[in-house]
Amino acid sequence: MSVFRVEDLAVSFGPAGRRARVVDGVSFSVDRGETLGLVGESGCGKSVTLLSSVRLQPSPPSHVERGSAWLGDTDLMKLDAKALRALWGSRIGVVFQDPMTSLNPVFTIGQQLRETLAVHTRLSAAEREERVIAMLDRVGINAPQRRLRQYPHELSGGLRQRVLIAMALLLHPELLLADEPTTALDVTLQAQILALLRELRDELGMGIVFVTHDLGGRRNIKNRVAVMYAGRIVESARVADLFRAPRHPYTGALLASTPTLDSPKDQPLATIEGMVPAPAQRGPGCTFAPRCARAGERCRAEAPALIPDGDRAVACFHPLS
């Protein structure tokens, strides 16, 4: 059963008449206890997709042209600001990329965590304190009482990121959105945070949607991946299937160009020629066609739809076998 379902989302930026569409007809869904990774290179529209889907992308300058986003049977696109504020932090938890800028530097960790509970619940002060300490403990923070009295700058990057995760999870949301939550962290910390998210997901039965630029990473936590290119999802599949047999030529090229422990040293890495087209330069066809060795006449004229096939889907007229 899906916790969150986005249908045909299109988002553009800029003033009317000169709008550039950066997300073009994106659909996905995530089930309870499932993780979906939105993967792509910078500028592919993955963060805009994530934030727009829960109306956290500031508008203007962004503009949702069409689409719906269902949290249970509520379409978030139809809600007013007050109704959205009631959902953010309670049924929807969000963890942003940079733990330094997402915490308020002039309040202690305790003040910020208690505030979340004060806004969304009728718990007493003592109950709030208890809940906050339990959650900090849950995300692996030692001596939580001491941390509550500290300011964000007194904590390391790993601890700050854990505080943000604790804050996002305080009200046991159904849906957790995370925008590159580990990019700013070192590899060993990344592994710790991802293990923590996976544990909490299973325990609380959340759905997680995760944005990352790193196709190789995070394979431990994602159940499914949707690969984005130039504003569209070009392929989605279970993680293992995607790595074993990518179907979209872009996914294949991306995997081939990533150095791994198994890359032969005497051979050059595969590269993708050319550059991602800017939003204004995207033609009617497949957005990858100008860089694709397999592209034909039809690819340049017509955009392929994302066609499901079992539990995976690909948007390509000439997929890899």
Partner 1 sequence: MSDAPLLEVDSLVKDFPVRGGRGVLHAVNTVSFRQRRGETLGVVGESGCGKSTLGRTVLQLLKPTSGSVRLLGRELTILPAEPLRQMRRHMQMIFQDPYSSLDPRMTVAALIAEPLLIHGIGTPAERDAEVGRLLDTVGLPAEAARRHPHEFSGGQRQRICIARALALHPEFIVADEPVSALDVSIQAQILNLLNALKRDRGLTYLFISHNLAVVKYVADTVAVMYLGRIVEMGAAEDLYADPKHPYTRTLISAIPRMAPGTGALESPPAGDLPNPESPPGGCTFHPRCPHAMEKCRTTPPALTARGGTGTPHAVACHLHD
HSE (side-chain half, CA atoms, 13 Å) at 203: 10
Q: How far is the CB of 192 from partner 1 (least distance, A)?
A: 5
Q: Does 262 bind partner 1 (CB under 8 A)?
A: yes
Distance CA 14, CA 224 (A): 32
Q: Which one of 18, 265, 284, 321 is in contact with partner 1 (CB under 8 A)?
A: 265
Query: Hey, which residues between 190 and 219 contact partner 1 (CB under 8 A)?
Result: 190-192, 195, 213-219
Length of the chain in terms of residues written: 321
Element (H, E) at 21: strand 20-31
Q: Does 7 bind partner 1 (CB under 8 A)?
A: no
Query: Hey, which residues between 41 and 80 contact partner 1 (CB under 8 A)?
Result: 41-42
- Token output for 318: 């000439």
At 300, which amino acid appears?
R
At 170, which amino acid appears?
L
Q: Which one of 255, 294, 300, 320 is in contact with partner 1 (CB under 8 A)?
A: 255
- Could you tell me how far CA 270 lies from the centroid of its own chain? 27
Distance CA 170, CA 75 (A): 24
Strand partners, 11: 23, 64
Q: Does 187 bind partner 1 (CB under 8 A)?
A: yes
> Which of 189, 183, 199 lies closest to 35, judged by CA?
199
Query: Hey, which residues between 100 and 159 contact partner 1 (CB under 8 A)?
Result: 156, 158-159
Stretch that binds partner 1, among 78-86, 235-243, 292-300, 311-319 (CB under 8 A): 235-243
Q: Which one of 8, 154, 186, 297 is in contact with partner 1 (CB under 8 A)?
A: 186
Q: Which one of 243, 300, 303, 318 is in contact with partner 1 (CB under 8 A)?
A: 243
**Interface with partner 1 by CB under 8 A: which residues?**
41-42, 156, 158-159, 186-192, 195, 213-220, 239-240, 243-244, 253-255, 257-263, 265, 268-272, 275
